[in-house]
Chain A
Amino acid sequence: MRITLTVNGDRVEQDVPPNVLLVDLLRDTCDLTGAKVGCDTGQCGTCVVRLGDRSVKSCQMLAVQADGAEVTTVEGLSGDGELTPLQEALWEEHGAQCGFCVPGMVMSLTDLLEHDSAPDEQAIRAGIAGNLCRCTGYGAVVRAVQKAVKDKS
């Protein structure tokens, strides 16, 4: 099936079989390897991207469901080599060790901060309820978001 979507501002037109997942289209066809497949069952959140103005798990979506949509991956959040204030704060607060979970964390938290500019700790923890981290843990991530919120205000 022929689909057309916008990925990080670029128009992508592609023939895809209906059983191709959105995450596979992004990684294999668009060469955007920020979103990862950690579990493939909707639990770990390493595949989170933005669809329209909401974060979604791209391993639980068919590419054809994104026909006509605007998709943003972690690569599309800021210019080449630049970090968003949230990413900067994650860096400074040691919110990443191996980094496998980080693109998904960043996309979930970007969505959270877009819909709630001053989340409290409970809201931050709820915002990453669908993201699993196997090495850093969540304390540093929570502190980083609190820092990003404080720096902005």
Chain B
Amino acid sequence: MELLDYTAPATLDEALEALRATPGARPMGGGHRLILDMKRRARRIPLLVDLGRLDELRGVRRGPDGGLEIGSTTTIADLVADPLVRGSHAGGLLADAAAAMPDAQVRNRATVGGAVVAGADVAAALIALEAGLHLRSGGARSRRVSVERLLAGEGPAGDEVIVAVEIPATTAQGAYERLAEPAALSSLCGVAVGVTFRPGGAVGACRVAVCGGPGPARRVPALEDAAAAAPGNGAEPRLDGVFESDDVASGEYRAHLARVLTRRAVTRARDRDPA
């Protein structure tokens, strides 16, 4: 495993400075992706900047506008156990998505920031929840961008650190459904929905994000329109080219799964709806 140097700064400013000073340096959350990548020699990292000692980046707080502010190094296990998260509209959806991670040991180490960058199940859930990110980099630079936009683009810059994930307060209800690939247990296709229901249970607004396959988690407007159409009223959503093929599944098969899983997720969200 190639790793030249490691540092575990005690403050965020020191971490940002270390990332700026060494080209190619990477921030590390739990390391559950990075260490695998280094073992496979998929990357050569001159300096790992471990965010694990930054208490300021860990934990869940209530944000100023009533939403949730989740520190980026909060582990997935702590996220889904947090009383603020469990008591919010995001609790059910995040618990569903976290359960897609392979086991308790991975959830005990993998962080929310790492899960955003990984762009898989938890990232899809965050997109359905309209989550935003607060990023910082050296020289006191700071920006805000949605998870959706970050993953649609290049991801964080090399010297940028995700400080927090921000979930706005809404009344939408969420749920996540997926089909796992039997050998590796990663999601062939996963669908996260955030839905508001009208009195009587009809779908009002619906956000749908999918993951699985080569690309990162993303929104799929055609599935949103189909979910919002009255039952029996909409034609099957057209998903040509939305899903890619790889050596485990064809894009067509993933598109079929996405239609089925969206219906299941909306049903599950409806069962959770308190109204």
The main secondary structure of chain B at its interface with chain A is mixed
Among candidates A18, A55, A64, residue contacting B104 with C-beta atoms closer than 8 Å = A55
Stretch of B1-9, B148-156, B188-196 lying at the A interface? B1-9
B32 lies within 8 A of A19 (CB): no
Q: Quick one: given A54-B77, A61-B109, are A130 and B104 in contact (CB under 8 Å)?
A: yes
Interface residues on B, range: 20 to 34
> What residues of A have a CB within 8 angstroms of the CB of B233 in the complex?
none
Q: Does A38 contact B (CB under 8 A)?
A: no
Among candidates A40, A42, A45, A67, residue contacting B32 with C-beta atoms closer than 8 Å = A42
> What residues of B have a CB within 8 angstroms of the CB of A131 in the complex?
103
Closest Cβ neighbor of A20 among chain B residues: B1
A60 lies within 8 A of B5 (CB): no
Q: Does B31 contact A (CB under 8 A)?
A: yes
Q: Does A35 contact B (CB under 8 A)?
A: no
> What residues of A have a CB within 8 angstroms of the CB of B1 in the complex?
19, 21
Instruction: Give the number of residues in A that approach B within 8 Å (Cβ atoms).
Output: 28
Residues on A facing B (Cβ under 8 Å): 1, 18-19, 21, 40-43, 45, 48, 54-57, 60-62, 64-65, 67, 108, 111-112, 126-127, 129-131
Q: Does B202 contact A (CB under 8 A)?
A: no
Q: Quick one: given A60-B35, A65-B50, A65-B52, are A129 and B102 in contact (CB under 8 Å)?
A: yes
Q: Contacts A62-B35, A67-B8 given; 8 further ones with Cβ under 8 A? A: A18-B4, A43-B102, A55-B105, A56-B105, A57-B105, A64-B50, A65-B31, A130-B103
Give the CA-CA distance A75 to B127 in the complex, in Å.
Answer: 44
